[in-house]
């Protein structure tokens, strides 16, 4: 979809319907915004990956999807945004001079966008299972099934980006449905169900807390509360994704299928900034809303500082031994 959209945008550069984003009036703002977003996206999501891998606080089945989501944002920060920055500053790569690089950039955009929302879909389903079937969750969700789901997400995303038949008018609609609107509907249904289950269990939890019932029931109530808190944090992540990506898909569909709809170049530019900016948001949301992530980030920083100190100490010892051996040989 992005390939057709951008290619058609370039063809209509001189028309009143849509202009090329290279013609934007304030490239300095774009440069500053994208550079800051690139730094935040790469650094923040690398930190998320390290925290999920090395911190015991975050080692759960959901962490696999969170790492996969972070990897997509890292790819956006390392590949998509730098190329888009080059397009805005220098007008290259473009379809005429560098068609291979240009198409690869657009393909990566589609892959990362699709992979992001599909990871969020599976996170929603994982939270739904945790809340709806707390006692059976460990038997339903297994490590090998998580691995299969993540593999499916990436194969699905690459497939969507690869089926881009030139000239097919229905392609933008297909990709909008497959990469955004249908997954969004699944997430809305999943979180609606989570909300209903939470309401149903709220009275039971209060009753358990108010009376001296069995400890196992209290533990079950506490576990349910933890799952609800995790679902609440992840629902904000999903909400941020929808806010950042929905305008892009809506504008794209209006551009292709709205015969009298005209798009100002700044509208397209704002949509691109918005959905690229989403890649830097998730680490901020995790750190602000989830104390386990905050603690895990601190653990990662401590680990990095400790390793740095150890490396410096080892280097000092090696240099001291080398110096001693040199002195001995001279004597």
Residues of the chain above pLDDT 90, percent: 23
Query: Cα dihedral sign for 268, 270, 276, 279?
Result: negative
- Structure tokens of 172? 């933008």
Q: In degrees to the nearest 10, what's the CA dihedral of 27, 33, 35, 41?
A: -150
Alpha-carbon distance of 55 to 127, in angstroms, equals: 20
Alpha-carbon distance of 25 to 32, in angstroms, equals: 14
Neighbours of 293 (CB within 10 A): 23
Is this structure's pTM higher than 0.75? yes
pLDDT at 22 over 50: no
Confidence of residue 19 (pLDDT cuts 50, 70, 90): very low
pLDDT per residue as tens digits for the range 262-312:
777 778 778 888 888 899 998 888 888 888 888 888 888 888 888 877 766
Q: Do the Cβ atoms of 55 and 290 come closer than 8 Å?
A: no
> Domains in the chain and their CATH numbers?
2-326 (1.20.1070.10)
């Amino acid at each position: 979809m992005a390939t057709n959209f951008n290619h058609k945008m370039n063809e209509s550069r001189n028309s009143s319907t849509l202009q090329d984003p290279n013609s934007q009036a304030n490239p300095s703002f774009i440069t500053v915004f994208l550079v800051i977003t690139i730094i935040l996206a790469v650094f923040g999501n690398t930190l998320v990956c390290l925290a999920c891998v090395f911190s015991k606080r975050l080692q759960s089945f959901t962490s696999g999807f969170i790492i996969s989501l972070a990897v997509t944002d890292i790819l956006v920060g390392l590949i998509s945004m730098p190329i888009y920055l080059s397009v805005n500053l220098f007008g290259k790569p473009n379809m005429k001079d560098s068609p291979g690089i240009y198409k690869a950039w657009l393909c990566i955009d589609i892959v990362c966008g699709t992979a992001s929302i599909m990871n969020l879909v599976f996170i929603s389903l994982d939270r739904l299972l945790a809340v709806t079937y707390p006692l059976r969750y460990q038997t339903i969700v297994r490590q090998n099934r998580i691995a299969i789901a993540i593999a499916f997400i990436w194969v699905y995303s690459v497939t969507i980006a690869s089926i881009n038949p030139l000239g097919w008018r229905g392609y933008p609609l297909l990709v909008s449905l497959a990469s955004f609107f249908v997954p969004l509907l699944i997430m809305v249904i999943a979180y609606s169900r989570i909300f209903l289950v939470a309401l149903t269990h709220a009275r039971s939890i209060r009753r358990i807390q108010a009376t001296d019932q069995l400890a196992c029931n209290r533990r079950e109530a506490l576990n349910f509360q933890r799952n609800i808190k995790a679902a609440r944090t992840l629902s904000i992540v999903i909400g941020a994704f929808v806010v950042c990506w929905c305008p892009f898909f809506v504008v794209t569909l209006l551009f292709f299928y709205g015969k009298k709809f005209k798009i100002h170049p700044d509208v397209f530019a704002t949509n691109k900034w918005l959905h690229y900016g989403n890649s830097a948001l998730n680490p901020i949301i995790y750190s602000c809303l989830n104390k386990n992530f905050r603690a895990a980030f601190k653990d990662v920083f401590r680990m990095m500082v400790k390793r740095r100190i150890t490396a410096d100490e080892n280097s000092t010892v090696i240099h001291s031994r080398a110096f001693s051996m040199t002195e001995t040989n001279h004597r």
